C-alpha cells in the first residue's frame, strides 16, 4: 500500500523511545522471527547478485584451476551467470510455495587476464565451500575486457617518472605535485595489427592546484601511451604548447565556488511518512503498492531490475511485465578530430564499468530522507570482494503531480471535482564515470507505467586553447568557449537499455501504429483527418525505428492475450526528451563500434548471450560483435520471446551555464500500459483525506508570508 505522508519544511522530531529493558522481549521475539524466516529461505534467489562468500569462492576456484596456470592473473569481470530463463520462470511463478522451491544452481561468469590473454570461465558456487570451474575458453577475437581500478591507478602513477613528461610539465610552468592523469581508451581506427595485439590506453594529464576541478585545466597537447600488460609507457608526444587554464572560477565545492547564492534560497524541506515507508525490501525483492520486482547489481551494468510484475486488482492476479532490464551501454563520442581528441569515443559500461563507478549516495541530497539503501559487492582486480555502501536507493516520490482528475461543470446545480495525487516509487543509482555523473532512475507508477530517466550532470570535458574571447574564433573550434583558454567540446550521450519485456507472458510481438493522413471523401466539409496504419514486425529489420522519422505509437503486445473488448494486451513505448540518433558517417570507426545508435528502437529475439550492445569486449572493439551485428541476422520477432533495446540520445552543445559544473539535464522514455488493463487501474483509488492525513506544509520560521 501507499502510506500517508506529510511534506514539511521543519525537521521531524524523533518519536519518544521506550526504555531498552521494556523493548527487550519485543527485540528477542523479532530475532526469533527473523531467524525462522532465514531458516526457511536459506538459499538465494536465482537473480541475487553474487555474495561476498560466493565472490571469494569464485576467486579460489579460478586461482586453483590448472586451466589458467599463467601468473599474474587479474579479474576484470565477475558477474552472475544467470540460470536459463525457463528455469527462472518456473522458480518465480511456479505453483509451489517459495519456501519449498528447489534452489537453482549458482554460477559465475568470469573474464580474467593472464599470460597476455583474456580467459572466460564459468564457475559453479552452489556450494561455496566447494566451488568448481565448469568451463574455460580463451577469447580469440577483437577487443579487451573492462579496465580495472587497480591497473588504472598503476598507469597514472607512471608519468612523473618519465623524463619527457617531466620536461613538458616544466615547460608549462606547472608544479608536478599538482598534476593528475587519467586513463582514456584508444578506441579502434582501422585494425592496425599492433594495436589489436597490445592492450594499450592513452594517458591525458591535468592540473589541480587550487581547484578540485582538474578536468578544467588540461595539459593540452601532451599524450602518453601505456601498455597495460607490461605496465610501461610505450609512446609519448608533446604536440603543441597551449596555456593551462586558470584555476580561478573552476571549483564547485562548498565555500570554494564564490560568493553565496544571491537570490532568496528555497525553504528547507523534507518528506515525513508518519506510518513509515510504504514499501518493503525482502532481500533484493521490493514490494510497493501494486508492484513487485527484484533489484540486482552488476559491475558492468549497475542496477538490474528483474521479474517486475503488477497486481491487477480487477483480474485478481499478478501479471508479468519485465523479465530483466538494465543499461547495456553508454556511448559518448566527442567531436574534435585533432590528435589528442579523435579517439575520445567512450563506451562507459564496457570500458570502465557502470557499477564499478557507482559511489555511495549521499542521504538527503542524492536521495530524500524517506529513502532506503542497498549495498553492492564486486570482485576487485585480485578477485577479493569489495563492498560498495549505499549504492542504490529506493524511495517514494511525492512531487505534487496529479495521477488523474476531472472537474465537471455541466450540471447546473453542482460542481463535481475528483482528483487523485500521484505517488511513485524510484530506484536510483548515480554513476560518476570520470568527469560526468549519470543519475539513472527507474520510476514505477501505480498506473502500471515504468519511467526511465537519465539525468546528466558533473563536469564538462574541456580543451585547452589560446582563445580568450569568442570574437577570436574564426574557424570551427569544435566546441564552446566557456572560460579563458577553455573550450568545451561538442559531444553525444547515448544510453542504451536492454529490456526483456514479458508482457503478460513470454511470447510478444512488436507493433508500429503509424499515424497516416487521409483525405475526407465522405461528403462533409472536413477535408482531411488522420488514422492509424498498424504494422506488426515479422523480423528484426521491421523492428528498427527512428522515433523522429514519423509520428507513431510503438507497442509490445501479447498476441495470445486479449481484453474483454478483444484488444491485444500490451505496453506502449513512449519516447520522452532526448531522442537524438547518431549523425556520424556509417564508415567512421566509432560509428562502426556503436552502429546501433542510428536507431533509438531495436527488437531482437531473446538470447541469454546477447546482453551488451557493443559486444562482450568493448575496449578496442571493432563492431564485429554487438547489437547491430546480431540484428543483421534478421531473425523472426513475431509472437516470440523478444527484447526491446531503447537508446536515449543527447547531442550536447555546451554553454557557459554548464561550467564549471553542469546543472542537471534529463531525458528518457516510458513503458505505459496499452490495453493491458480492462480500465484505468487507478479508478478505485481513494482520494486524500479519507484514509490519510492531509498534506501539511509547515514553516519553521513562523513567517506567514
Q: How far apart are CA 359 and CA 353, in angstroms?
A: 12
Phi first, then psi, for residue 357 (nearest 5°) are -110, 25
Residue 701 has pLDDT above 90, yes or no: no
CB 82 within 8 A of CB 608: yes
Query: In a 10 Å sphere around its CB, with 0-12 CB exposed, 13-18 middle and 19+ buried, how is residue 667 labelled?
Result: buried
Distance of CA 363 to CAs 60, 369, 389, 392, 395, Å? 36, 7, 12, 11, 11
Query: Which residues are catalytically annotated?
Result: 348, 436
550 pLDDT above the threshold of 60 = yes
Specify the pLDDT at position 3.
52
Mean pLDDT across 592-605 = 97
For the cut 50, the answer to whether the pLDDT of residue 41 exceeds it is no
96-110 pLDDT per residue, tens = 555 557 899 999 999
Percent of the chain with pLDDT over 90: 85
Measured distance CA(43)–CA(52) in Å, rounded: 15
pLDDT tens profile 439-473: 999 999 999 999 999 999 999 999 999 999 999 99
Widest CA span of the chain, in angstroms?
A: 90
Cβ–Cβ contacts within 10 Å for residue 164, how many?
14
Strands 450-458 and 436-445: antiparallel
Distance CA 646, CA 495 (A): 8
- Phi and psi torsions of 349, nearest 5°: -70, -45
Q: Are 465 and 477 in contact (CB under 8 A)?
A: yes
pLDDT digits (tens, 9 = 90+) for 390-403: 999 999 999 999 99
Which pLDDT tens digit goes with each residue over 654-671? 999 999 999 999 999 999
pLDDT category of residue 2 using cuts at 50, 70 and 90: low
At residue 508 the predicted structure's pLDDT band, cuts being 50, 70 and 90, is very high
Question: What does the alpha-carbon distance between residue 342 and residue 337 come to, in Å, rounded to a whole number?
Answer: 4
Q: For 192-244, how does the pLDDT look when each residue is reduced to its tens digit (9 = 90+)?
A: 544 446 999 999 999 999 999 999 999 999 999 999 999 999 999 999 999 99
Measured in degrees and rounded to the nearest 5, phi and psi for residue 142 equal -75, 155
pLDDT of residue 14: 37
Closest CA to 326 of 305, 347, 350: 305
Q: Look at 684 and 358; give whichever has higher pLDDT.
A: 358
Q: What would the pLDDT profile of 620-658 be if each residue is shown by its tens digit?
A: 999 999 999 999 999 999 999 999 999 999 999 999 999
- Reduce the secondary structure of 216-242 to three states and give it as a string: HCECCCEEEEEECCCCEEEEEEECCCC
User: What's the alpha-carbon Rg for the chain, to the nearest Å?
Assistant: 27
Chain segment 244-270, per-residue pLDDT in tens: 999 999 999 998 887 777 678 888 887
The pLDDT value recorded for residue 265 is 82
Residue 266: its pLDDT value, please?
85
pLDDT for residue 33: 35
For residues 483, 489, 491, 495, the Cα torsion angle rounded to the nearest 10 degrees is -50
Mean pLDDT check: name the lowest of 182-196, 217-231, 487-501, 544-558. Answer: 182-196
SS in 3 state form for 343-395? CCEEEHHHHHCCHHHECCCCECCCECCCCEEEEEEEECCCCCEEEEEEEEEEE
For residues 677, 683, 685, 686, the Cα torsion angle rounded to the nearest 10 degrees is -170
- Dihedral of CA atoms 41, 42, 45, 50 in degrees, nearest 10, equals 150
Query: Which residue matches cell numbers 492525513?
Result: 693
Q: Residue 626 has what pLDDT?
A: 95
Q: Kindly report, residue by residue over 46-98, the tens digit of the pLDDT.
A: 999 999 999 999 999 999 999 999 999 999 999 999 999 999 999 999 865 55
pLDDT band, very low/low/confident/very high, at 1 (cuts 50, 70, 90): low
Residue of 632, 279, 271 lying closest to 444 (CA atoms): 279
Q: Can you spell out the DSSP letters for 527-551?
A: -EEEEEEEEE--BGGGG-B-TTTS-
d(Cα 492, Cα 330) in Å, to the nearest integer? 10
Give buried/exposed letters for 330-347 (b at 16+ CB in 10 A, else e).
bbbbbbbeeebbbbbbbb
**Could you identify the residue written with the cell 510455495?**
97
Helix (H) / strand (E) element for 23: namely helix 20-40
Mean pLDDT lowest among 29-43, 206-220, 548-562 = 29-43
Is beta strand 402-408 parallel, antiparallel or unpaired with respect to 222-227? unpaired
Amino acid at each position: 500500500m501507499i502510506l500517508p505522508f506529510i511534506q514539511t519544511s521543519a525537521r521531524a522530531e524523533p518519536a519518544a523511545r521506550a526504555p531498552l529493558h521494556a523493548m527487550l522481549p519485543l527485540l528477542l521475539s523479532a530475532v526469533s522471527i527473523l531467524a525462522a524466516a532465514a531458516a526457511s529461505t536459506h538459499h538465494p534467489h536465482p537473480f541475487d547478485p553474487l555474495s561476498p562468500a560466493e565472490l571469494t569462492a569464485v576467486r579460489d576456484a579460478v586461482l586453483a584451476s590448472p586451466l589458467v596456470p599463467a601468473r599474474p592473473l587479474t579479474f576484470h569481470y565477475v558477474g552472475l551467470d544467470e540460470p536459463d530463463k525457463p528455469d527462472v520462470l518456473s522458480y518465480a511463478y511456479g505453483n509451489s510455495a517459495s519456501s519449498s522451491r528447489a534452489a537453482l544452481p549458482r554460477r559465475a561468469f568470469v573474464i580474467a587476464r593472464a599470460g597476455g590473454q583474456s580467459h572466460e570461465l564459468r564457475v559453479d558456487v552452489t556450494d561455496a565451500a566447494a566451488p568448481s570451474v565448469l568451463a574455460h575458453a580463451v577469447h580469440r577475437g577483437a577487443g579487451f575486457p573492462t579496465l580495472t581500478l587497480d591497473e588504472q591507478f598503476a598507469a597514472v602513477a607512471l608519468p612523473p617518472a618519465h623524463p619527457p613528461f617531466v620536461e613538458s610539465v616544466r615547460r608549462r610552468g606547472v608544479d608536478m605535485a599538482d598534476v593528475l592523469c587519467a586513463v582514456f581508451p584508444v578506441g579502434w581506427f582501422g585494425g592496425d595489427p599492433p594495436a589489436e595485439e597490445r592492450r594499450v590506453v592513452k594517458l591525458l594529464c591535468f592540473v589541480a592546484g587550487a581547484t578540485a576541478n582538474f578536468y578544467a585545466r588540461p595539459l593540452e597537447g601532451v599524450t602518453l601511451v601505456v601498455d597495460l600488460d607490461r605496465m610501461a609507457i610505450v609512446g609519448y608526444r608533446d604536440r603543441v604548447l597551449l596555456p593551462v587554464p586558470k584555476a580561478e572560477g573552476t571549483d564547485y565545492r562548498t565555500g570554494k565556488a564564490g560568493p553565496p547564492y544571491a537570490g532568496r534560497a528555497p525553504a528547507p524541506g523534507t518528506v515525513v511518512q508518519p506510518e513509515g515507508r510504504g514499501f518493503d525490501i525482502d532481500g533484493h525483492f521490493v514490494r510497493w503498492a501494486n508492484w513487485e520486482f527484484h533489484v540486482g547489481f552488476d559491475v558492468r551494468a549497475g542496477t538490474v531490475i528483474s521479474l517486475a510484475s503488477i497486481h491487477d486488482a480487477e483480474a485478481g492476479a499478478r501479471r508479468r511485465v519485465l523479465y530483466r532490464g538494465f543499461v547495456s551501454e553508454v556511448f559518448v563520442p566527442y567531436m574534435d578530430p585533432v590528435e589528442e581528441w579523435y579517439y575520445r569515443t567512450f563506451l562507459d559500461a564496457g570500458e570502465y564499468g557502470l557499477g564499478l563507478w557507482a559511489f555511495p549516495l549521499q542521504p538527503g541530497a542524492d536521495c530524500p530522507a524517506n529513502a532506503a539503501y542497498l549495498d553492492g559487492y564486486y570482485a576487485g582486480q585480485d578477485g577479493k570482494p569489495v563492498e560498495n555502501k549505499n549504492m542504490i536507493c529506493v524511495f517514494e516520490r511525492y512531487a505534487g503531480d496529479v495521477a488523474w482528475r476531472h472537474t465537471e461543470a455541466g450540471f447546473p446545480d453542482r460542481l463535481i471535482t475528483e482528483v487523485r495525487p500521484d505517488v511513485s516509487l524510484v530506484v536510483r543509482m548515480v554513476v560518476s564515470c570520470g568527469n560526468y555523473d549519470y543519475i539513472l532512475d527507474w520510476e514505477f507508477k501505480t498506473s502500471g507505467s515504468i519511467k526511465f530517466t537519465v539525468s546528466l550532470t558533473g563536469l564538462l570535458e574541456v580543451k585547452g586553447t589560446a582563445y580568450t574571447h569568442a570574437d577570436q574564433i574564426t574557424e570551427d573550434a569544435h566546441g564552446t568557449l566557456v572560460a579563458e583558454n577553455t573550450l568545451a567540446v561538442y559531444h553525444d550521450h547515448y544510453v542504451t537499455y536492454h529490456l526483456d519485456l514479458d508482457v503478460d507472458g513470454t511470447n510478444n510481438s512488436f507493433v508500429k501504429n503509424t499515424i497516416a493522413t487521409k483525405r475526407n471523401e465522405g461528403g462533409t466539409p472536413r477535408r482531411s483527418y488522420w488514422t492509424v496504419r498498424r504494422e506488426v514486425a515479422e523480423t528484426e529489420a521491421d523492428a528498427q525505428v527512428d522515433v523522429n522519422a514519423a509520428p507513431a505509437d510503438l507497442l509490445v503486445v501479447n498476441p495470445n492475450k486479449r481484453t474483454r473488448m478483444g484488444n491485444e494486451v500490451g505496453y506502449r513505448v513512449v519516447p520522452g526528451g532526448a531522442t537524438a540518433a547518431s549523425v556520424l558517417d556509417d564508415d567512421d570507426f566509432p560509428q562502426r563500434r556503436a552502429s546501433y545508435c542510428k536507431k533509438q528502437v531495436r527488437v531482437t529475439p531473446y538470447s541469454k548471450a546477447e546482453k551488451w550492445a557493443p559486444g562482450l569486449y568493448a575496449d578496442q572493439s571493432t563492431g564485429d560483435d554487438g547489437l547491430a551485428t546480431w540484428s543483421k541476422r534478421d531473425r523472426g520477432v513475431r509472437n516470440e520471446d523478444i527484447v526491446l533495446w531503447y537508446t536515449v540520445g543527447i547531442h550536447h552543445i555546451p554553454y557557459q551555464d554548464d561550467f564549471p559544473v553542469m546543472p542537471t539535464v534529463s531525458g528518457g522514455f516510458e513503458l505505459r500500459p496499452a490495453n493491458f488493463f480492462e480500465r484505468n487501474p487507478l479508478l478505485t483509488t481513494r482520494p486524500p483525506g479519507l484514509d490519510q492525513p492531509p498534506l501539511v506544509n509547515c514553516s519553521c520560521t513562523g513567517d506567514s508570508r
